[in-house]
Amino acid sequence: MKRRSFLAASAAATLPIACRRKPEFPFQGALVGPDLPMGHWLRGGAFPDPERFEPVSVLVVGGGVAGLSAAWRLVGAGLDDVRVLELEPEPGGTSRSGRNHVSAFPWAAHYLPVPDRGNHAVLRLLDECGVLEGFDAKGDPRFAEEATVRAPEERLFAHGQWWEGLYLRAGASAEDERQYHAFFQEVDRWAAFRDAKGRPAFSIPRSRCSDAPEARALDGLSFAAWLDARGFSSPRLRWLLDYACRDDYGSRLDTTSAWAGLFYFAARKQGPGEDSRPLLTWPQGNGFLIEHLRQACGTRLNCGVMATAIRQEKDGLLVTAWDAVAQRRIGWRAKHVIFAGPQHVAKHVIDGFAAARPAAARIHNAPWMVANLTLRARPQEPTFPPAWDNVLRDSEALGYVVATHQSLHDYGPTVWTWYRPFTGPDCEAERARLRALDWPACARMVMDDLRPAHPDLEGLVARLDVMRWGHAMVRPAPGLIWDPDFLALSRPFGAIHFAHTELSGFALFEEAQDHGLRAAEEVLAGLGHPTSSWR
Amino acid sequence: MNADRMSSVANSFSEPASPQPTLKAPLLFISVLLIASCGLIYELVAGTLSSYLLGDSVTQFSTVIGVYLSAMGLGSWLSKFLQRGLARRFVDLELAVALVGGCSAPILFQAFAHTHAFRVVLYGVVMAVGTLVGLEIPILMRILKDQVRFKDLIASVLTLDYVGALFASILFPLLFMPKLGLVRTSLLFGLLNASVGLWSTYLLQSQLGPTRLIRLRCLAVMALLAVGLGFAGKFTLAMEEEIFADEIVYAKDSAYQRIVLTRGRGSFQLFLNGNLQFSSADEYRYHEALVHPAFGLRPDAKRVLICGGGDGLAVREVLKHPSVQEIVLVDLDPAMTDMARRQPMVRQLNGASLDDPRVKIINADAMVWLQETSGPPFDMAYVDFPDPNTYALGKLYTARFYRLLQRRLTDDAMITVQSTSPLMARQSFWCIAATMEAAGLKVRPYHLAVPSFGVWGFALASRRDFDVPTRVLPGLRHLSDEATAAMFAFPKDMDRVPTEVNRLDNQVLVHLYAREWRRWS
């Protein structure tokens, strides 16, 4: 009896060892920010006031592209009394980047189309960053060779091999080719469009776009419906356009406004019949630009600080915040607040906002998963050589960008940034799905996705880190972009000004920057600060 | 399985009991001749291969012969432990020699290219073949001992053994090496060994019992070797031997490229990824033209940068200038610079230039090195990369590269860039010049004939205006003052054509180059 119970006990003791499975992957990794619990803590409501409210002229809530750009503008106007609060430990929002012993790498946004000569704000920023080299004889800007995406830019994996470019020409029928050219003729037609005031239908940022009825009408239907109506049925063409929607908007042909679908192509044309503008990129993606904006902000940027409540009082705006670093409650009394966070956060933070601005509920953000794979060495590549952007045709994901492509390291270890938007029609359901994924499930998703193109990848991965973005990109659903109530969300709410790419209806660096500058210039005007626009 | 063992036991019991008067002794003597030739061929293959790959042929041949002979001794000694079923053992032995000996050259080449333990594999293979070969003759003699008088037996066997060796030693250098190469020679003699095995099943039929299975085995081994021989074209090395036309004497897959050295027709050649880098017959023309014109304009240059050029041949030319105090050679591949320092033929050709105390070797991607490091400026730079046939090479010919390069040079430094053939790839050649101009350089291209390449071109450049050099170091093999000045004149079919500038974001040169060279291949 005794002996038997001893045996049973020792069996029980060894059980956990026996059950400890061999790790599923020969590499390690982790789920990294954004700080979901801290963000969601906001919804708990009811925070007591801090002991004192520090006076400040302008408080910028949110240290993403919009918030940093607003601060950049304010500081550029000579206004010193500015504070920027960022909830995450690092600024940048969806332009954040990381760095390890191999390379810097993006955590989300990773390129900027070359701006045209009329996009003064982006040109100013690129000039400050040393990327703008000057202007050519025609007056068009010239950019540093090392910042322009290095060739080959894109390749596509299909039929078991890699092909140059994103549009699969191999095996295309005459009808496929005809539709491809017809679509881009349509794009050219829109690129050439000018309204009575001489404004183009599509330009970046969208504040330069025409609001002529014929252009706005495009927002009334989905991109899929627009394509159907014109007989664009080629599967190759539709794959390319669907890819563009997933890539830039986190949505599909049938959940994207036709206006946004055409904007993607027409706004990037150098001119009718010409190529799309080249792209600017850096190993850390748009983190390069963030680094510059962060330096411009200097010590005015406070990271790890979450604004929990903003309310209007007689003598200014009272802002309550939680300093996660010092673990204490702090407060500011601001003349103006630039709220540079998303609208779904505004309703939890700004007193009276939810009731006053119901249109905010029309904004839906697609969740994204981004993985950074650190590779010890590169896989064998028998077909078209590695490009900057490497896309798998038969995949829900968008492929991967090679961080070392731009830094010219062609041999040895590298970092790949893999992107997957969750494009199902219900963002809330997609978000719940993403939230439920633990690290092994995420890693499995990444490896399963890449295996067809790189069967030998698993042994080369040293580390795989995953970022789950709950609200990565606003979706330009049909009817949103030109909706007057939606557009009115950009207007100030008392002395609170709004800046976020969401307010454009789609997520682009240039849009975030434009809203940041607009909000900052509203504030400068409100403070009676003489200035001319940077926009 | 069981039945097989039974029959073998039965067979071995029957052997001593019934000596076979029907054995075809004279025909078996022919087997001696053949196996003797095979045995010597394997020895020669191993000796040749190791002296090609490791250099120092005296040491290699001595050690290979020593190990081989002692292994034969071991085999002979071991033969006494084989007591029963000698005929069957002999056939098996032939098949084993056929396999190990026949595959020895491919095994050794692969071991050299893919492992770090080449010597272990080399002496292992030599030991194995030697031991097996050492077993052959004693066993054959024991099979024949009841047929032939001892004194006749020993005389005939040893005579034929030595005659076979003579055949092999004469035919190997005159016929097999030049016509077949090492891999095919070893496979062919493996096949011969296996056929001796098969043939023996007929000669020794009376001693063998059921022979069907044994013959099948012979046929299987022969088929295997024949496939190896027939499909040699699919086999990398054999395929390379076809491409290169000459004997491969060195082959290595480094982390970056495949390095192959071939020898034939009185010279040797270096190939990187199948592209000829130099032939020892005329490389002096190329390297004199690369190095000396720039020195004609800056005879006092002290610090010299060489990007690429891991073969050490450009360094050899630079070292002829007494003003030179330091040479920094930036070459991607440590396997390349190591080979240039250690491989005896290459080391002899470059005059051990890479071991000169003035030379500092940096194994790095030159563009990344220029981008990420800094240091005192150079007053001379040579850019000697392989032609731009991949994007990774194409970046080394971009405006960005030439800008990065200038950051590391003095204001009046001279730059010389190897820039492919102005005749065969005219647009590519002028694209390189145009790209250097776009990077702010004054460029004066020049060309000469390098028979193994064709008409070849370079671009001489500097930030400051300069005149064509008219003086070179005296005592060179090709260049004289007159010949130097003449290189800068371009005949009509190679004269300047307008091209785009090669930039990182367009890599036009890679496309141009591929299109132009396609016409010549």
> Looking up tokens 């702090």, which residue turns up?
A330
Q: Are A409 and B365 a contacting pair at CB < 8 A?
A: yes
Least confidently predicted of A260-264, A317-321, A490-494, B165-169: B165-169
Inform me whether the C-beta atom of residue B366 falls under 8 Å from chain A C-beta atoms. no
Side-chain half-sphere of B274: how many Cα atoms within 13 Å? Answer: 9
Beta carbons of A266 and A482 less than 8 angstroms apart: no
At B163, list the tokens. Answer: 């005659």
Q: Do B473 and B496 belong together in one domain? A: yes
Q: Is B287 annotated as belonging to a binding site?
A: yes
Of B427, B423, B444, which Cα lies nearest the Cα of B489? B444
Q: Do B25 and B141 belong together in one domain? A: yes
H-helix segments, A195-286: 213-216, 223-229, 235-249, 258-266
Residues of A within 8 A of B391 (CB-CB) are: 151-152, 385, 410
Distance CA B29, CA B13 (A): 26
Looking at residue B1, its pLDDT comes to: 38
At B97, list the tokens. Answer: 């020699």
Helix, strand, coil distribution of chain A in percent, nearest 5: 40, 25, 40
Chain A residues 278-297 with CB within 8 Å of chain B: 278
Inform me whether the C-beta atom of residue A150 falls under 8 Å from chain B C-beta atoms. yes
Inform me whether the C-beta atom of residue A145 falls under 8 Å from chain B C-beta atoms. yes
Beta carbons of A154 and A166 less than 8 angstroms apart: yes
Chain B CA closest to residue A281: B505
Q: Do B210 and B253 belong together in one domain? A: no
At A389, list the tokens. Answer: 């952007």
Cα B516 to Cα A155, B317, B399, B425, B451: the distances in Å are 24, 31, 21, 5, 19
Comparing B365 with B16, which gets the higher pLDDT?
Answer: B365
Q: Residue B450 belongs to what H/E stretch?
A: strand B442-450
Q: How many domains does chain B have?
A: 3
Inform me whether the C-beta atom of residue A136 falls under 8 Å from chain B C-beta atoms. no
**Rounded mean pLDDT, B237-265:** 74
Inform me whether the C-beta atom of residue B255 falls under 8 Å from chain A C-beta atoms. yes
Distance CA A463, CA A99 (A): 13
CA dihedral sign, ordered B146, B151, B157, B160: negative
Q: Do B108 and B201 belong together in one domain? A: yes
Chain B CA closest to residue A408: B368
Q: Are B391 and A152 a contacting pair at CB < 8 A?
A: yes
Of A225, A210, A192, which Cα lies nearest the Cα of A479? A225
The residue ranges of every structural domain in chain A are: 36-96+284-363+485-526
* Å between A408 CA and nearest CA of chain B: 6
Confidence of residue A17 (pLDDT cuts 50, 70, 90): very low
pLDDT in tens, B21-38: 455 677 778 888 898 899
Q: Do B298 and B401 belong together in one domain? A: yes
Beta carbons of A256 and A476 less than 8 angstroms apart: yes
Confidence of residue B52 (pLDDT cuts 50, 70, 90): low
Inform me whether the C-beta atom of residue A33 falls under 8 Å from chain B C-beta atoms. no
Active site residues of B: 384
* Å between A410 CA and nearest CA of chain B: 6
The terminus-to-terminus CA distance of chain B in angstroms comes to 57
The residues near A21 (Cβ < 8 Å, ≥ 6 apart) are none
Comparing A45 with A525, which gets the higher pLDDT?
Answer: A525
Number of H helices, E strands in chain B: 21, 11
**Does residue A228 have a pLDDT over 90?**
yes
Q: Do B258 and B397 belong together in one domain? A: no
Q: Are A152 and B256 a contacting pair at CB < 8 A?
A: no
Q: Which fold has domain A36-96+284-363+485-526?
A: FAD/NAD(P)-binding domain (3.50.50)
At A419, list the tokens. Answer: 């992107």
Chain B CA closest to residue A377: B255
Q: Are A407 and B332 a contacting pair at CB < 8 A?
A: no
Question: Could you write out the three-class secondary structure of A312-343?
Answer: EECCEEEEEEEECCCCEEEEEEEEEEEECCCH
Chain B CA closest to residue A378: B255
CA dihedral sign, ordered B318, B320, B326, B331: positive
Q: Is B481 annotated as belonging to a binding site?
A: no
Looking at residue B229, its pLDDT comes to: 83
Q: Do B180 and B191 belong together in one domain? A: yes
Q: Which of A145, A278, A407 sits opposite B400 (nearest CB)?
A: A145
Of B438, B403, B392, B396, which Cα lies nearest the Cα of B417? B396
Residues of B within 8 A of A149 (CB-CB) are: 505
**Does residue B3 have a pLDDT over 80?**
no
Phi, psi of A339 (to 5 degrees): -85, 105
**Rounded mean pLDDT, B496-510:** 94
Confidence of residue B232 (pLDDT cuts 50, 70, 90): low
> Looking up tokens 């309310």, which residue turns up?
A311
**Does residue A271 have a pLDDT over 80?**
no
**Does residue A112 have a pLDDT over 60?**
yes
Inform me whether the C-beta atom of residue B331 falls under 8 Å from chain A C-beta atoms. no
* Å between B363 CA and nearest CA of chain A: 12
The answer, yes or no, to whether the previous bond of A530 is cis (omega within 30 of 0) is no
* Å between B69 CA and nearest CA of chain A: 43
Task: Work out the angle at residue B205's Cα, subtended by the Cα atoms of residues B201 and B211, and round it to the nearest 5 degrees.
Answer: 65
**Does residue B9 have a pLDDT over 70?**
no
Buried b vs exposed e over A387-413: b needs ≥16 C-beta within 10 Å? bbbbbbbebebbbbbbbbbbbbbbbeb
Q: Give percent of chain B above pLDDT 90.
A: 60
Residues of A within 8 A of B368 (CB-CB) are: 407-409
> Looking up tokens 């890693």, which residue turns up?
A443
Q: Do B81 and B227 belong together in one domain? A: yes
Inform me whether the C-beta atom of residue B387 falls under 8 Å from chain A C-beta atoms. no
Of A243, A201, A199, A251, which Cα lies nearest the Cα of A222? A251
Least confidently predicted of A225-229, A460-464, B137-141: B137-141
Q: Is B365 annotated as belonging to a binding site?
A: yes
DSSP code of residue A222: B
- Beta carbons within 10 angstroms of residue A273's beta carbon: 11
Q: Residue B250 belongs to what H/E stretch?
A: strand B247-253
Q: Is B205 annotated as belonging to a binding site?
A: no
pLDDT in tens, B67-119: 999 999 999 999 999 888 888 889 999 999 999 999 998 888 777 766 777 88
Q: Residue A497 belongs to what H/E stretch?
A: strand A496-498
Q: Are A411 and B399 a contacting pair at CB < 8 A?
A: no
Looking at residue B58, its pLDDT comes to: 75
- Beta carbons within 10 angstroms of residue A327's beta carbon: 8
DSSP B348-372: HHTTTGGGSTTEEEEES-HHHHHHH
Cα B277 to Cα A410, B261, B262, B386, B437: the distances in Å are 21, 10, 12, 7, 26
ipTM, two decimals, is: 0.85
Identify the domain boundary among B211, B240, B269: B240
* Mutate: best of B504, B506, B507, B508, partner A, most A CBs <10 A: B504
Comparing A48 with A41, which gets the higher pLDDT?
Answer: A48
- Beta carbons within 10 angstroms of residue A141's beta carbon: 19
Inform me whether the C-beta atom of residue A146 falls under 8 Å from chain B C-beta atoms. yes
Inform me whether the C-beta atom of residue B332 falls under 8 Å from chain A C-beta atoms. yes
Phi, psi of B482 (to 5 degrees): -65, -45
Looking at residue B20, its pLDDT comes to: 45
Inform me whether the C-beta atom of residue B367 falls under 8 Å from chain A C-beta atoms. yes
H-helix segments, A77-222: 120-128, 174-192, 213-216
Residue type at A351 in one-letter notation: D
Residues of B within 8 A of A385 (CB-CB) are: 390-392
Cα A331 to Cα A187, A316, B491: the distances in Å are 51, 12, 80
- Beta carbons within 10 angstroms of residue B154's beta carbon: 13
Inform me whether the C-beta atom of residue B391 falls under 8 Å from chain A C-beta atoms. yes
**Does residue A179 have a pLDDT over 60?**
yes
Least confidently predicted of A59-68, A92-101, B50-59, B390-399: B50-59
Q: Which pTM was predicted?
A: 0.77
Of A400, A404, A447, A333, which Cα lies nearest the Cα of A156? A400
* Å between A145 CA and nearest CA of chain B: 6
Of A467, A507, A497, A470, which Cα lies nearest the Cα of A39? A470
Q: Is B331 annotated as belonging to a binding site?
A: yes
Distance CA A58, CA A66 (A): 15
**Does residue B233 have a pLDDT over 80?**
no
Beta-bridge partner residues of A31: A466
Q: Are A145 and B395 a contacting pair at CB < 8 A?
A: no
Q: Which of A149, A278, A410 sits opposite B392 (nearest CB)?
A: A410
H-helix segments, A105-145: 120-128
Q: Tell me the average pLDDT of chain B.
A: 87
Helix B236-244 to helix B177-203 angle (10° resolution) is 140
**Does residue B506 have a pLDDT over 70?**
yes
Chain A residues 173-202 with CB within 8 Å of chain B: none
Buried b vs exposed e over B171-195: b needs ≥16 C-beta within 10 Å? ebeeebbeebbbbbbbbbbbbbbbb
Identify the domain boundary among B189, B216, B240: B240
Of A386, A408, A391, A335, which Cα lies nearest the Cα of A103? A408
Q: Do B500 and B400 belong together in one domain? A: yes
Cα B131 to Cα B33, B43, B71, B75: the distances in Å are 18, 12, 5, 4
Total beta-carbon pairs less than 8 A apart between chain A and chain B: 50
- Beta carbons within 10 angstroms of residue B215's beta carbon: 16
Looking at residue B73, its pLDDT comes to: 94
Side-chain half-sphere of A474: how many Cα atoms within 13 Å? Answer: 27
Q: Which of A145, A408, A409 sits opposite B505 (nearest CB)?
A: A145
Inform me whether the C-beta atom of residue B14 falls under 8 Å from chain A C-beta atoms. no
Confidence of residue B174 (pLDDT cuts 50, 70, 90): confident
Distance CA A394, CA B468 (A): 58
Q: Do B388 and B460 belong together in one domain? A: yes
Domain that holds residue B261: 248-277
Confidence of residue B54 (pLDDT cuts 50, 70, 90): low
Comparing A23 with A359, which gets the higher pLDDT?
Answer: A359
Of A416, A268, A335, which Cα lies nearest the Cα of A53? A335
Comparing A464 with B146, which gets the higher pLDDT?
Answer: A464
Looking at residue B132, its pLDDT comes to: 93
Q: Do B368 and B223 belong together in one domain? A: no
Looking at residue B328, its pLDDT comes to: 98
Q: Are A150 and B505 a contacting pair at CB < 8 A?
A: yes
Q: Do B263 and B333 belong together in one domain? A: no
Q: Are A411 and B255 a contacting pair at CB < 8 A?
A: yes
CA dihedral sign, ordered B476, B477, B482, B486: negative
Chain B CA closest to residue A387: B391
Q: Give percent of chain A above pLDDT 70.
A: 93
Distance CA B414, CA B304 (A): 10
Q: Is B4 annotated as belonging to a binding site?
A: no
Residue type at B404 in one-letter notation: L
